[in-house]
Structure 1
Amino acid sequence: EELCIRQMQEAADKIGLGNKVDIRLKPRNSPYMKSFAIEEDHELVTALRQSFTDITGENLPIDYDPSVCDSNIVAVSLGIPVVTFGPSGGNMHGDNEYGYPYQVKNCCEIYKETIRKLLKP
């Protein structure tokens, strides 16, 4: 919870609104989601990285995303390993968000190849 407040305060400071906001978490019935990480050598990560390279000819960078989304429920509450991967573009989660068609096509192929690798006997 403190990390979340600190990140929001830093964002407000960055745009010059730090002294104009009061950031507090609202009590809620459902729990705040806990963060999670999957090991880089987990079979899901290695299959995805190899599939990415097979399809694009490039190496897939790995990063830690401190945000909270449905992945936290799947990973933390249900114990199912999760990676977040998809096409990029511009204005992510904002007005006029867009993606590149070639990345959408590549993503579809990468998903299929990753599943093939994971299901291989």
Structure 2
Amino acid sequence: MNPTPFPAWSAYRPPKPSLPGATTAIVLGVVGVAAGLCCLLPLAAAPLAWFHGARALRLDDREPGSWQGRGRARTGLVLGVIGTVALLVATLVMIAVGALLWLTLLAPSPY
């Protein structure tokens, strides 16, 4: 019995490295949007998700086919944009409510 030798080529390819910042972007985006619905403080993570997602996508555009995780980076970017818009709207609402309260406190009472 002669053992069969292994072929000179292999069908196995090692996986591509994960795109740096892609996982960070999606985690920050989910935390910013999901937890931001409960209280406003986690919405501050949304601009960071936008930044990391955009940076990861730029890196993947410079070296196409070298990385995996473009979907995570894009999802983090989109969640970061949504969370940043929500953060801006919440900030404007708080400023408007604060201004109205301030104006009502300064108004003379008719009584």
| TM-score calculated relative to the size of structure 1 | 0.27
Q: Which one has a larger percent helix, Structure 1 or Structure 2?
A: 2
Considering Cα pairs closer than 8 Å and 6+ residues apart, tell me whether 1 or 2 has the greater RCO: 2
Q: Which structure: larger Rg?
A: 2
| TM-score calculated relative to the size of structure 2 | 0.29
